Structure 1
């Protein structure tokens, strides 16, 4: 398996080009741990798509978490809940990945209350770029999937002290869900500002 180094800008350009080859409504999942910055890359891909004439919206999975009373039911550091119970998968299916208008944000996790966003109409050729961590293996529908992979050592180096309790969860995710194998596009992101793309 060979990888070629690219800049973040070139990576966004290449991902947008792959999406743009797909006709009709496109759902693009951009999965990766927070230090790999999938949200920043998703915003760049959506902007590149708009420059190409496609209607595109970047949606952060972090804005579709369940209320604190549900996701923190077993404590702030429960690994099983972080893996399977924090994300509101049903809302993503219903509000983001279904046909029709898209809700950009649902739940403000910091304030633990709903956002008041308006729905966005993307049209028949529109693109939704959904980004975040631990997205794969949940049955989320997509026409294209990319995974930003970080090695165990790199993830450990780049994860803030307060979030280090999540490291075993990301190890389980790699082992149990095989995001690298599920992805159409695999990117090595041990150095997030200097990624390498498979192929």
Structure 2
């Protein structure tokens, strides 16, 4: 390629990258302006004209960036999920996994109470669960649940536990926000949280020793009491459990 052609192509690439950066900066500025309007004045205040003025852009720019007002609100909701995800603290080895569960639940509720309009936008419509940040947040929750299961603390199936934990936190916030201020009793939140903990976890770990070996020993000890498996199936499972238990 002749030198001049390479220079022109390089300049075009730089110009394209600069335009992309400028577009993303404008997009972020509009999202933050919309989120601020939402927090201060409510959803009805988030009009394309008001957001454009607050963000310092022309109204047509919002349509180019988001398609329409619904697209803008989707982006604001995604911004909310990302903000919440950034606030989550992940301890890969908590000393007390049940207290870790309580702390995660409290964090979710506190975020909702501190950001009522944003939270309502995020969780008021089922389609919001398609958000990448929402799914990442659910993976954090599933990690907490997996640690409970590995320690023998989990009373229900992992998938059901995730739904129960998420549903009680979401329901707690939306119910609280629907109440008149003089009817908001903190006992509502505490009771919902503790009901969730009681439903999802055991008072004592079902597995004395954490890890596959401990779980295998516990299951092996319980095998004679169950009748679902045939004799041959029990013998095969017992063989597998013996191997796992021996590793511990």
What TM-score comes out, normalization by structure 2 length? 0.22
More strand by share: 1
Identify which of structures 1 and 2 has the higher relative contact order when contacts are C-alpha pairs closer than 8 Å and 6+ apart. 1
More helix by share: 2
What TM-score comes out, normalization by structure 1 length? 0.26
